[in-house]
A and B are shown apart, each in its own frame.
Chain A
Amino acid sequence: DTGVSQDPRHKITKRGQNVTFRCDPISEHNRLYWYRQTLGQGPEFLTYFQNEAQLEKSRLLSDRFSAERPKGSFSTLEIQRTEQGDSAMYLCASSLKKRGDIQYFGAGTRLSVL
């Protein structure tokens, strides 16, 4: 069990550029979640996958955001035409599919849009 890993840890980009983040969940976990955390706030849910199926997307996830989880393993989160308001910590978590199960979080990717 190597934990949830996220790459990169930090990303600085210019407004209007596209960025992509990667998340590798704990290997046996069939659920994968993306959250966004801004300074002084708790994480906010963005989307989640069960295996390769994306089952829910938050209204926070505008059409500039897209997430995939091909083959039910790693996941990518892409932001197109970044805006300064996208600056945040993007967190990935994974879990098994059962009631009350624990979500294990990665260290996050910190995005700064200049």
Chain B
Amino acid sequence: GNSVTQMEGPVTLSEEAFLTINCTYTATGYPSLFWYVQYPGEGLQLLLKATKADDKGSNKGFEATYRKETTSFHLEKGSVQVSDSAVYFCALGGVNSGGSNYKLTFGKGTLLTVNP
């Protein structure tokens, strides 16, 4: 079945540091890949996505590239801010028999804390 393995946290960085959160997956077919973020006290929000191999998703300075050869979708940001403190979830969109994505399989989440 589908699975997502995500770098365990917590991760603590100083402001302006470089961020990498590793994510690898196991899947059948050609899933879409997502990063969701959960800020304290809020619901899950989509951060970025990629729907096919070699696609790069980007948003708010965050980037991730869909690497089929290494089955990875690592999240990176060049310079983190205090406001980036949140829990980050890597997710895989399973593909049904009709070829469309449906249920998401999530990693366990990585808590990021950015200190000023």
Question: Quick check: is B104 within 8 A (CB to CB) of the other chain?
Answer: yes
Judged by DSSP, the binding face of B is strand
User: C-beta contact mask, A1-41 vs B, less than 8 Å → 1, else 0?
Assistant: 00000000000000000000000000000010101000011
Count of chain B residues with a beta carbon within 8 Å of a chain A beta carbon = 28
Contacts of B32 in A (CB 8 A): 99-100
Number of residue pairs spanning A and B whose beta carbons lie under 8 angstroms apart: 64
Contacts of A56 in B (CB 8 A): 102-103
Question: Could you tell me if A105 and B44 are in contact, using CB atoms closer than 8 angstroms?
Answer: yes
Count of chain A residues with a beta carbon within 8 Å of a chain B beta carbon = 26
Question: Quick check: is A45 within 8 A (CB to CB) of the other chain?
Answer: yes
Question: Could you tell me if A105 and B45 are in contact, using CB atoms closer than 8 angstroms?
Answer: yes
Question: Could you tell me if B100 and A42 are in contact, using CB atoms closer than 8 angstroms?
Answer: no
A interface with B by C-beta (< 8 Å)? 31, 33, 35, 40-45, 48, 55-56, 91, 93, 97-108
B interface with A by C-beta (< 8 Å)? 4, 6, 32, 34, 36, 42-46, 49, 51, 89, 91, 93, 95-96, 99-109
